[in-house]
Structure formats: C-alpha cells, structure tokens
Chains A and B, each alone.
Chain A
Amino acid sequence: MNGTMPERRAFLRRVALGGLALAGAGALRAQGATQGASGSGEAGRLYNPNAVQQRAPTVGADNDAQIMELEKTLKCQCGCNLDIYTCRTTDFTCTTSPALHREIVALWNDNRTADQIREEFVREYGEQALMAPKAEGFNLAGYFVPGIVMLFGIGILSMWILRRQRQVAAVPSLAATEAIDIAAVSGATPEELERLRRALAEVKD
C-alpha cells in the first residue's frame, strides 16, 4: 500500500498536468485560428471594416436630454414603427432616423421650440409623424373611450350589485329564520365545534 500511494499521486499529477497542457494548447490553437488582426495604434484600422456599420462620431446634440425627449415623441419614417431616438440608437442599418435626427438638431439650433419642431414634422410627414396622436377632434376618442368605458362599467356594475343586495336583503336569510344546528347534523362535539369556530375566526376566508 505504501508503495502504491505516491505512485498513484504522481500518476494523477502527470495526468492533470498533461490535461492542462492539452487544454491550453487547444485554447491557443483556437485563438490562433479565430483571432484576426485587431487594430493597432490609437485607433487602428479594423481587419474587416465591412463587418460593422460605419457611424459618424457622436456630437453634443446627440446627448441633449431635451432633444432625446423630443425624438421619443416623433416617429421614424423608415417604416419601423419606432420613435426617432430608439431607431437611430438601435437599428444601425437605418439611414432615415439619423437624417431625421440631423433635421431636428438643425431646427433646434434654429431656436425652434419642441412644439414648433413637432408641428414642422406634422406639416412635413403628416400626423403619423407623432408617436401619440394629438388630443383633439376624433383622437379624443382614442384617449378617453377606454376611461369612459371603464367608468361606465364601474357604474353599471355598482348599480347591479346594489340592486342584487337590495333583492337579497328583502328575502329573510336562512340564518335569520332557521339556523341549522350543526352539532346535531354533523355529530361533532361542542369542543370540536369551538375549535372549528376559532380556526375560522383566524382564517376569516
């Protein structure tokens, strides 16, 4: 036994080291096979520039909170159903949203207010330029019908329940007329009934 333990340990150590070496070599080989030339220098060229979208550098207006908020209320016209901000910061294949963003920035720099820019977009692209319709005319139906239906439902339901309540109140209840003697029906002892009453009082369901 004494002779075999060190041998086994040495064997296991060799297997572990061998395994690690193989795994390391595999990883290096895999890296060598897949690693392309990454850029060199401060902003070196990419090995395959076509594999990424080309973007214009960020400017101050891109992070202007007011412009961002405004863009979230205006729809991109590329057919994507997103607002301009979301589209230009998500769908990097879209060329429409960056153009619309530039248009907004130009209007903003021209000292137009957010409302004026929205008006300008509605004039240019129609009412569908807005992410939510203006609350006027027929659009009011869009905003208020769900609320009105809900209030109407609450009114009808309350009236219905109150009417039922009156109907039930008009009929003497079973409890008021002839309370069933549960002890007689169930054969339970008074102690068991008391325990049941206590449990029900706890749960109150």
Chain B
Amino acid sequence: MTLLGQFALWVAFLIGTFGAVLSFSGKWQDRPDLERTVIRSSYALAAALLVAALALWKGLFAHDFNIEYVAAYTSRNLPTYYIVSAFWAGQKGSLLFWAVVLACFSAVAQWITSRRYADLLPYVAGVTNIVVVFFVIVMIFAANPFERLAFIPEDGRGLNPQLQNIGMVMHPPMLYLGYISVTIPFAFAIAALLRRRLDSGWIVAIRKWTLVSWVFLSIGIVLGMWWAYVELGWGGYWAWDPVENASFLPWLTMTAFLHSVMIQEKRGMLKRWNLSLIVATFLLSIFGTFITRSGVIASVHSFTQSNVGYFFLGFLLVAGVLSFTMLYTRWDELEPDAKLESMLSREAAFLFNNLALVGIAFSVLWGTLFPILSEAVRGTKITVGPPFFNRVNIPLGLFLLALTGIGPLIAWRKASARNLQRQFILPVSFGLVTALALVIDGMRDVYPIMTIALGAFVLGTVLQEFYRGIRARHRMHGESIPIALFNLIARNRRRYGGYIVHVGILLMFIAFTGMAFRVDQEATLKPGESIEMQSPYGGTYKLTHLGVSQYNALNRVVSAATVQVEYDGKSLGVMKSEKRQHVDSFGRPTFEPSTEVGIRSDLREDLYIVYAGSVDGTEEAVYRFTINPLVWWVWFAGLVLVVGGILTMWPGGGGIAETRRTQAGYEATLVGAENV
C-alpha cells in the first residue's frame, strides 16, 4: 500500500505540474482540446490523491506499523473512529488531507461553475494545481506519510489522549475545509486578473465558495473552542494562542470580504479592495499553516517542529509577491463604476466595518508576531499572552460590535436625517435601557456593561429589521406572521441570514463577558468531605467527594472521581471527572495520565470539575472546581452563527437576478421616492 501511495503522490505531482504549466502558458486559449486537458488535469489530480488517501487509510486500518505515521498515531486498541481521525492528527497525514480535499474542491469547482465563466476555468485549474502540487512537494520531500520504518513495531504509540475526543474528530477537518476552500475564491481572483476580466462577474462566481469557506471556518473555530473547553481542562475556550489566532485571521478578512463584496455587487465599487481581501485571506490561511507547522512561535498545540515551515514560508512569500504584483499591474483597470456619495450611507458603514475587521486582524497578527519582532529589534524574547490581547482587542471588538448594529440601519447611497432618526431611535433606546438596568442592578464592570448594552443595540436593530419586513409582507400580501417571517427569510436569504449571523455574533460577545465573573477553587477532599462555593448569581454549591473508582476500558485505565452536587440545598446529581492512563494492546502505558473534566451546563453557568490527582495514592482527591457563567451561550451562539451562514448560502432566494435588479435601482430614480 505504501508503494501505491508513493506512486499516487508522484503521479499527482506530474499531473498537477503539467496542468499548471499548460494553464499558465496560455496556449489553451486558441485550442479547445488543450483547454479541456487543463480542466481534466484537475479531475485527474483529485483521483490520484484520492488513491494516495485510500492507501494511507488502508495502512491505518490494517495496523501496518511499518509505516512510520501509522506507528506514531495509532495502536491496535485505538477505537475505529479515532483511526479515521488519525489521518489528520499528525503533520504528514494532515498535509495529505489538505492536498486531497483541495484537489476535490478544485474538481468540484470545475464541475459546477457556470459556463458563463468558462474562460476563467483553465486559469482556476492552474492556480489550484499549483497549490496542490506545493503540498505534494512538501510531502514527497519533507513529510512523507508513507515513510517506512526499518523495523515493524509490535504496536503503535497510539493517538495523543487529548486528541481522543469527538471534538478532535470534527474540529480539524472543519477548520481545514475552511482554510482549503479559500483557495477556490483566490484562484478565481487570480484568473480574473490574468484574463483581465475585472468586472464583478467573478465575484458572482465565487460568492457561494466564499460563504462555504466562511461557514467551515466558523464551524472549525467554534468546535476548536468547544474541544479546548471540554478536553484541555483549563476551564476556558480561547487563550489567544498563536494557533488559535492563525485560524481567526482568515476568518476576519473573509468576514470583511463578505461585507465589502456587497458594495461591489450593488454598486461596482471596491474592486481593488475586494481582490486584496481575497488574496490576503488566502495568504493568511497559508500563514496559519506555517505558524502551526514551523514551530517558529511557541504554541500549546502546534505540530512538532519540523523543516516544513521553510517550505510554507517560501510559498507564502512567492504567492504574496506574485499576487500583489498582478494586482498592481491591473490597478488602473479596476476603477470603480460608481462613487461613494455620503459619509452617512451604508457603503460608508460597511467600509468602517471592513476597517474594524481588518484592524482587528492586524492587531491579532501584530500580537502574534510581536515576540519575533521584539527579539529581532531588542534581542529580548517576550511573551504576548491573553492579558495583552484582551487589552488591545476588546476596544476594537466593541467598535466592531457597534458597527454590526449601525450598518443595517443606514440607507444605501445617502441617508437623510429623518431616515437616521427613524431607524436609530428604537435600537439605541434598547441599548441605553439595558445599560441603565445593568448599572441599577449593581454591575460596575465597564467592558461587560458596554458589551451587553451594545449587544442589546444590535439585537434591537435586527428585531426592527425583521419586524418591518414582516409588517410589509403582512400588509402587502395579507400573510400571517409566521408565513410572512418564513417568506421574508426565504426570499432574501442573504440579507436575513446575515442578520441571524449578527445575532450569533452578539450572543457570542455577551457570552464572552461571563468569563469576567468566573470563580475558581481548589480543594483536597477525602470521601464524604465537602466544600461550598458561591455562584456569581448568589446561590451556593455544595460539592461532596464520593470517592475514586478504577476500571479498565478499551485502551485505558480509568480513575473516576465522583462528586455529589447540591445547589442551595437541592440535589443536582453526581458528577464525574476522570484520569485516563492510556495503554497499548500489551497494557503498557503510552502517555502520561490525561484528565477528562466533568461539566454540568445550564443557561446560566457551567460547573466545571477537574480531578487533578490523588494524595499519596489514596482516594483523597485534589480537585479544581470552576464556575463559568454563560458558557452554554457560546455554543448556542456558534450554532446560530452557522445556521445564519448556511441560510445565506442556501441556493435560491435572490442571486444574479436580484443583484441586477438592485444595480438597476441605482440607474433610475423613482419619481417621488425619497430613498431607494
């Protein structure tokens, strides 16, 4: 199987290189047969890499421990679903995963893209082939998943215990799908630049792809937060770690693009900016990979340090220089079709929103790279941790949250004073009343008050938009409220899906404030002993240690510490936190004992129990108890965000015809209409 895998990698390398060279030679422009060949190279590349992927999976499932990767990440007693996820658990496998998924995306893009953009497709194939070939080169020359050992171990090392979690089965592929699918819009952007087809057509061709990337990235990031929370045991979900930041950066620029692209679609403006954002998003996705794999910046969860970082750095530089040079040489051809007319317009609000998103991206990038910069300038290594990022980014985040509410309230082109008054009065009142209520209730923390008040303002905006839309449909079509709501969303999925995403964002911001009220307590308890803990909401938890029981499971020895939980005298049941000593199929320990936390979650707060260890090998247990307010809302907000994102990209409900109608609306002025 390794021979087949190696062979498939080399075939992929040759096919990809051939397709890319043919594509960029431009010879296909007068030769339809060559054009077809270029496009078919994408399909062949996907097929070759699928063979390589199947060969690795075969090795994983067959426990072929002669393959170094299989021995490093699996063992005979590893549950089947973790054998599946072992494919992307390590550096080499994840590179193959990246390459095969990108090749498949590329083939799908060729397959489903409308023939209207046929002249772009060979260049799209060329760009995607180059990116895939880059990954194949890294595999062949630096991180080969089919590398063989000089001997055959009896059993593999097994998967890192922290990766033996359902979150880790889903989080990496989702994040990779987000990272990888960014390549398709990037390829269309480069193809448009190469073909000098610089109208807004290519934007329509990639609209769905950008939304797909954004949704996958969002799912990947939220799942990563969830995994960190339930598995790592530190009681938080975001630590501003370089690897986390690396996933956040392309999400920010992609979000900026999804907003600014609306201005290009509706008004033919911001063509240069949108191209820059797409290129930046792609480069940031490669940068994230570089950070994760190079070891250049210390991170709690990066891959082992290796020389693949140099490959990524080189690729990043070459791709950046070529892309921006191409953009520069087409600069004059990217003149806007219309001009921005007023500071008080939705276009201007979107521009400020873009500025905030890109500003936050810059700030996160700056903080991530500042240790390297400091070492280069001063020769002193410094640490840039959560206190730094919170101090710098919270004000920027609040500015963005405010813009989330302001944008939809301002009319396109130019808002009148009457329009502003009419639009703002309700949401602003919502925000002010909320702030007042919080202060009266005794809250004195400035950032949480601002966050919740701004969240209420954004919610007011969204509710007002829905209310007006429903009322209009009710009056015009006589629809009942549920039907009007359904039709409102169904007929303009992008707009109302976007509002649902805004609700997800505001919920997430509000949920984050819960961390300001977190309570921690450590305790050492003998069986039957209890401690009491005060909830931030005023109630009291009584936590009684019941004992520690040990038993063998499939690939581990489990030590389960159980705790009886009472809240204000009412029993909430028994919770359990575990220590897991993983073993191979011969019963030999493979890793240090890992911790499985116990979590009891409700709408108000989470009770988070960590069994830290035992005193002198007895049942006397050392615990860390944490009360985390509003965590449930983080996951719910993530769900709302993703549902909103999926709604915006669901087929139908607008599209090209709607875009044309909108654009036409700016070419004619309705007689007597105040604002269109």
From B355, B520, B675, A204 is in contact (CB under 8 Å) with: B675
Residues of B within 8 A of A195 (CB): 476
Q: Are B550 and A38 in contact (CB under 8 A)?
A: yes
Contacts of B668 in A (CB 8 A): 180, 182, 185
Which residues in B have their C-beta under 8 angstroms from that of A193?
670-671
| Stretch of A6-14, A18-26, A45-53, A106-114 at the chain-chain interface | A45-53
Please tell me if A103 contacts chain B, counting CB pairs below 8 Å: no
Chain B residues near A197: list those with CB within 8 A: 670, 672-673
Report A-chain residues with C-beta under 8 Å of the C-beta of B593.
51-53, 92-93
Given the interface contacts A39-B619, A46-B619, A142-B370, does A52 sit within 8 Å of B559 by beta carbon? Answer: yes
A: contact size bracket? 35 or more
Task: Find out whether the CB atom of A180 lies under 8 angstroms from the CB atom of B618.
Answer: no
Q: Are A205 and B411 in contact (CB under 8 A)?
A: yes
Chain A residues lying within 8 Å of B672, measured Cβ to Cβ, are 197
Cα separation A127 to B423 with both chains bound (whole Å):
51
A45 & B359 in contact (Cβ 8 Å cutoff): no
**Residues of A with C-beta under 8 A to B395:** 147
Chain B proximity of A17: nearest CB distance (Å): 29
Interface assignment of B367: CB less than 8 Å from any CB of chain A: yes
User: Inside 8 A of B304's CB, which chain A residues have their CB?
Assistant: none
The answer on a CB contact under 8 Å between B595 and A92 is yes
Min CB–CB distance B622 → chain A (angstroms): 4
Distance between Cα atoms of A81 and B301 in the complex (Å): 10
- The answer to whether A179 and B669 touch across the interface, beta carbons within 8 angstroms, is yes
Interface residues in A151-205 by Cβ distance below 8 A to B read 153-154, 157-158, 161-162, 164-165, 167-168, 174-175, 179-183, 185, 193, 195-197, 199-205
Q: Kindly report which residue of chain B lies nearest to residue A79, judged by CB atoms.
A: B298
B150 partner residues in chain A, CB cutoff 8 A: none
Chain A hits for B340, CB < 8 A: 161, 164-165, 168
Is there a chain A Cβ closer than 8 Å to B59's Cβ?
no
Chain B residues closer than 8 Å to A129, beta-carbon distance: 383
Kindly provide the distance from the CB of B468 to the nearest chain A CB, expressed in whole angstroms: 6
Are A36 and B362 in contact, with the CB atoms below 8 A? Answer: no
Q: Is the CB of A131 within 8 A of B552?
A: no
The reply on B553 being an interface residue by CB < 8 A is yes
Q: Does B113 contact A (CB under 8 A)?
A: no
* Chain B residue at smallest Cβ distance from A135: B391
B contacts with A, residue count (CB < 8 A) = 101
Partner of B557, one of A51, A83, A150: A51
Q: Does B151 contact A (CB under 8 A)?
A: no
Q: How far is the CB of B138 from chain A (nearest CB, A)?
A: 26
CA distance A89 to B234 in the complex (A): 7
Task: Please determine whether B385 and A132 come into contact, CB atoms closer than 8 angstroms.
Answer: yes
Check if B343 sits within 8 Å of A162, measured CB to CB: yes
Q: Which residues from A are CB-within-8-Å of B521?
A: 63
B614 touches A52 (CB 8 A): yes
Task: Give the chain A neighbours of B592 by CB distance below 8 A.
Answer: 53, 93
Beta-carbon contact of A146 and B392 below 8 Å: yes
Q: Is the CB of B527 within 8 A of A86?
A: no
- Is A200 touching B673 in the complex (CB atoms < 8 A)? yes
A46-B550, A165-B343 given; A146·B359 CB < 8 A: yes
A3 to chain B: which residues have CB within 8 Å? none
Give the residue of A128, A150, A153, A167 whose beta carbon is less than 8 angstroms from that of B383.
A128
Give the interface of B toward A (CB within 8 A). Answer: 232-234, 239, 241, 298-300, 339-343, 348, 351-352, 355-356, 358-359, 362-363, 366-367, 370, 374, 377-378, 380-388, 391-393, 395-396, 399, 411-412, 419, 422-423, 468-469, 471-472, 475-476, 495, 520-524, 526-528, 547-553, 557-559, 579, 581, 589, 592-593, 595, 610-620, 622, 624, 668-676
Besides A164-B339, A164-B340, 4 new A-B residue pairs in contact (Cβ under 8 A), listed by A number: A127-B380, A157-B351, A179-B669, A180-B671
* A contact set with B: CB distance below 8 Å: 34-39, 42-58, 62-63, 68, 72-73, 75, 79-83, 86, 89-90, 92-93, 126-133, 137-139, 142-143, 145-147, 149-150, 153-154, 157-158, 161-162, 164-165, 167-168, 174-175, 179-183, 185, 193, 195-197, 199-205
Question: Which 5 A-B pairs have CB atoms at the shortest separation, nearest pair first?
Answer: A49-B617, A146-B363, A55-B613, A53-B613, A39-B619
